Structure 1
Amino acid sequence: MSKKEGDAGENLAAEYLISKGYRILHRNFRCRFGEIDIIASKGSVVAFIEVKYRKTDRFGKGFESVSQRKIEKILKASQYFISTNQDRYHYRYDVISIDNGKITHIENAFSYE
């Protein structure tokens, strides 16, 4: 997938989140530990969101491609974000999968243990 297609998927995910009442805090948050596609808040919850975009389901659904290695990078990057932001929130880890134009938002897709 090209960067342009990835950006298009992230744009769709951001629009979806906004329509559901979320506020986008960061897009493509990067630090030395990794990258988080979208960080969004709704009420007292901050969600760290991985976005997966697929034009077809030929290789499975987008959410099925979130590897353990990717999860570990997101967890490390989110811990860095939390340590540098002193706001008090509840945190969770979501995946937004966009497959053939259908958006699936999986809240609490994985957790920090």
Structure 2
Amino acid sequence: MPERSSAKSGKDAELQALKHLQQQGLRLLAQNWLCKRGELDLVMLDGDTVVFVEVRYRKHAQWGGALASIDGRKRQKLILAAQFFLQKEHRWADAPCRFDVVAIESTPSGQADLNWLKNAFDS
């Protein structure tokens, strides 16, 4: 069986994350929102809170796994893209916001292990 491309695996992971978040009551505002500052995988609404969701997929955890793949530089890019989103989408400019990460990793059995980390950038 041919290897799945990483782009296809990434899109599948985003769809899995989207379905999971919608099952938890979040509403989709934007998907793959692009701007000059970068891309926002999912922008969701949780009650009155705008949630910027970064979806990370890793087939193997040998390089630190999905959560560990978000370094300081990646966080800064996401924050800048989110600020740009709020400037362009005036309706949400004054809403409370947070950054979540949905990390999906393949298990040895081939299943996907989904970990939703709310307020991922609050240390």
2:78 maps to amino acid: I
- Separation in structure 2 between the aligned mates of residue 60 and residue 39 of structure 1, nearest angstrom: 26
- The correspondence for 2:32, drawn from 13, 28, 39, is 28
> Offset of 1:85 from its aligned partner?
1.9
CA-based RMSD: 1.3
* TM-superposed deviation, 1:70: 1.0
1:26-82 Cα shifts (integer Å, max 9, x gaps):
111110011111100011111101111122323232011002111111111100111
Gaps of 5+ in 2: 107-111
Q: Secondary structure at the match of 2:76?
A: helix
Rounded Cα–Cα distance in structure 1 between residues aligned with 2:62 and 2:37: 31
What is the letter of the counterpart of residue 94 of structure 1? D
- Equivalent position of 1:57 in the other structure: 61
SS of 2:118 mapped into structure 1? strand
Matches within 5 A, 1:1-113: 2-87=6-91, 88-100=94-106, 101-110=112-121
Structure 1: segments with no counterpart, 5+ residues: none
4+ aligned runs moved over 4 Å, structure 1: none
* Aligned-partner Cα distance in 2 for 1:85–1:11: 23
SS across alignment from 1:109: coil
Equivalent-residue separation in structure 1 for 2:60 and 2:26 (angstroms): 27
Moved more, 18-27 or 83-92: 83-92
- From the two aligned structures, give the one with the greater strand fraction: 1
TM-score, normalization by structure 1? 0.91
| Count of residue correspondences | 111
Letter of the structure 1 residue corresponding to residue 35 of structure 2: C
TM norm structure 2: 0.84
